[in-house]
């Protein structure tokens, strides 16, 4: 398979007859009523300017994916649940208004929480499903101590497609949090089984942020003997109805080569927390079908992707708000034309399951690294790698003065951290650093010992 950079405005004729579904964790789209369960979104840190900048970037990303009208279906996560519904416009209100202003949609939508429940039962953030097709049904599936699953059915020219929008419990590496994700998976699996028992050829898909990697059971085989995504939900790399186990869900991460898999990056390693999973019914000649090989990771350098590093340009409330999200959107196409297998090729490598989380390859970022200068300290350079030289200005916590700027230094690698913490005030220090922010201060992340000269 050839991994294409993206498609949207320049769609082929067959793509124009299909429709897009996007799964996207937008990273905390909050209103600015000053009432928030997250401290980062209190009035001292977040207001109308930050909200406006975030919405502007979000709309730019959606237009890059789906053209001037945007994608046809959106499965969004991390939209704030409004704590002041009678006094101030919600994050959903602000989003819909901005989408309309930008000419995106028009969308019907369903919220991912129950406003009739006591407010103390509301989650901090919710899923939100938007569709340019009519929404015919919607329901919530409650989860104890976690966000509910949002089920929405849309109608495409007389044919129904059911969408399961998910945002599972965070803490991918935590066995304790996996117990909650097992509940997420069990609830979803039960509902899917009910749907299929009633309608054996039902067309549906699962999307969203499962806070689980496609290879979760392999990566955490020692600490998690049972995982929600693999053991319960049935995520698999076997494509097409004949190869899938009954009830299995084909994970679209297997549409791209292992070295391309990644929707998020944490501490220098790629993750695949975002997902679109498909049943066998989307591979038949009835109703809705998946457009083979249409899966894409929507990354746009300079907009939602750090140039050079290729990692998500995460959102920050600081400096009036900059960045996009700590997750890339995932995109797939579907049609009513019946499934048609893509170009014949050897797909055996695509079934490969990596045994560990892959390190981010910074080699191109290092090759393209600019020299740190007086004008380098800017939000547009967030995440970029620089060549620096300076003087240690403090040892605990360690900081550096370079070209008139004082920056913190940190590494997630223990050996590198040990070297950094051994440096004394006044010593010279040079190397490569990835520009980042921590608690309101700029800093360089040093990935490993090779980054120090």
**CB 145, CB 160: distance < 8 Å:** no
What confidence score (pLDDT) does residue 42 get? 86
Q: Which CATH class is domain 14-351?
A: alpha beta
- 137 DSSP β-pair partners: 153
What confidence score (pLDDT) does residue 252 get? 98
DSSP characters over 151-210: EEEEEETTEEEEEEEEE--S-TT-HHHHHHHHHHHHHHHHHHHHHHHH-TT--EEEEEE-
**CB 61, CB 13: distance < 8 Å:** no
**Domain 363-451 grouped into CATH 2.40.50.140:** yes
Radius of gyration of the chain (CA): 23
Tell me how far apart the terminal alpha carbons of the chain are, to the nearest angstrom: 39
| Strand pairing category for 398-402 and 385-395 | antiparallel
Assessment of whether the complete model's pTM goes beyond 0.95: no
- 29 DSSP β-pair partners: 79
What confidence score (pLDDT) does residue 345 get? 64
Domain segments of the chain as ranges: 14-351, 363-451
**Average pLDDT by stretches of 10, the chain with 453 residues:** 41 65 98 90 92 98 98 98 91 98 98 93 96 98 94 97 98 94 98 96 97 95 94 90 76 96 96 97 93 97 95 95 98 90 70 93 94 95 96 94 97 96 96 93 96 96
What confidence score (pLDDT) does residue 7 get? 46
Number of Cβ within 10 Å of residue 61's Cβ equals 24
DSSP characters over 339-372: ----S----GGGG---SSPPBP--HHHHHTPEEP
The two domains 14-351 and 363-451 share their CATH topology (first three levels equal): no
What confidence score (pLDDT) does residue 449 get? 96
Residue 298's φ and ψ, nearest 5 degrees, are -85, 95
What confidence score (pLDDT) does residue 5 get? 42
Distance CA 77, CA 172 (A): 16
Distance CA 418, CA 395 (A): 12
* Burial of residue 395 (number of CB atoms within 10 Å: 0-12, 13-18, 19+): middle
Q: Which of 255, 257, 249, 182 is nearest to 212 (CA)?
A: 182
What confidence score (pLDDT) does residue 16 get? 57
């Amino acid at each position: 398979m050839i991994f294409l950079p993206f498609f949207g405005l320049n769609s082929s004729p067959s793509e124009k007859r299909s429709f897009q579904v996007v799964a996207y964790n937008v990273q905390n789209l909050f209103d600015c009523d000053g009432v928030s369960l997250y401290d980062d979104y209190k009035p001292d840190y977040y207001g109308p300017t930050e909200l406006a900048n975030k919405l502007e970037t979000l709309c730019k990303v959606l237009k890059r994916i789906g053209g001037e009208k945007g994608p046809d279906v959106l499965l969004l996560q991390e939209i704030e649940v409004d704590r002041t519904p009678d006094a101030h416009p919600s994050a959903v209100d602000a989003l819909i208004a901005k989408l309309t202003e930008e000419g995106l949609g028009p969308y019907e939508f369903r919220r991912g929480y129950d406003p009739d429940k006591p407010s103390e039962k509301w989650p901090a953030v919710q899923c939100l499903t938007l569709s340019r097709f009519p929404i015919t049904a919607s329901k919530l599936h409650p989860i104890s101590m976690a966000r509910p699953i949002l089920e929405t059915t849309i109608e495409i020219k007389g044919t129904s497609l059911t969408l399961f929008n998910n945002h599972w419990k965070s803490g991918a590496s935590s066995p304790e949090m996996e117990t909650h994700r097992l509940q997420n998976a069990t609830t979803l699996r039960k509902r899917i089984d009910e749907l299929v028992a009633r309608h054996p050829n039902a067309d549906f898909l699962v999307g969203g942020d499962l806070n689980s990697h496609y290879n979760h059971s392999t990566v955490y085989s020692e600490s998690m003997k049972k995982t929600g995504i693999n053991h319960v939900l049935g995520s698999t790399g076997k494509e097409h109805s004949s190869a899938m186990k009954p009830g299995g869900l084909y994970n679209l991460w297997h549409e791209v080569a292992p070295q391309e898999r990644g929707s998020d990056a944490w501490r220098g390693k790629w993750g695949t927390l975002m997902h679109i999973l498909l049943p066998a019914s989307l591979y038949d000649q009835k109703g809705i079908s998946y457009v083979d090989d249409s899966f894409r990771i929507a990354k746009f350098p300079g907009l939602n992707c750090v140039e050079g590093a290729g990692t998500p340009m995460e959102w920050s409330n600081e400096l009036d708000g900059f960045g996009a999200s700590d997750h890339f959107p995932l995109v797939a196409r579907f049609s009513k034309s019946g499934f048609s297998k893509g170009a014949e090729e050897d797909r055996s490598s695509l079934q490969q399951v990596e045994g560990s989380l892959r390190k981010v390859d910074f080699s191109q970022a290092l090759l393209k690294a600019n020299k740190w200068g007086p004008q380098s300290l800017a939000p547009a350079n967030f995440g970029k790698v620089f060549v620096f030289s300076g003087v240690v200005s403090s040892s605990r916590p360690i900081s550096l003065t370079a070209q008139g700027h004082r920056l913190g230094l940190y590494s997630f690698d223990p050996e590198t951290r040990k070297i950094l913490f051994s440096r004394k005030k006044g010593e010279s220090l040079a190397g490569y650093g990835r520009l980042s922010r921590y608690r309101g201060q700029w800093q360089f992340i040093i990935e490993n010992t090779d980054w120090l000269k």
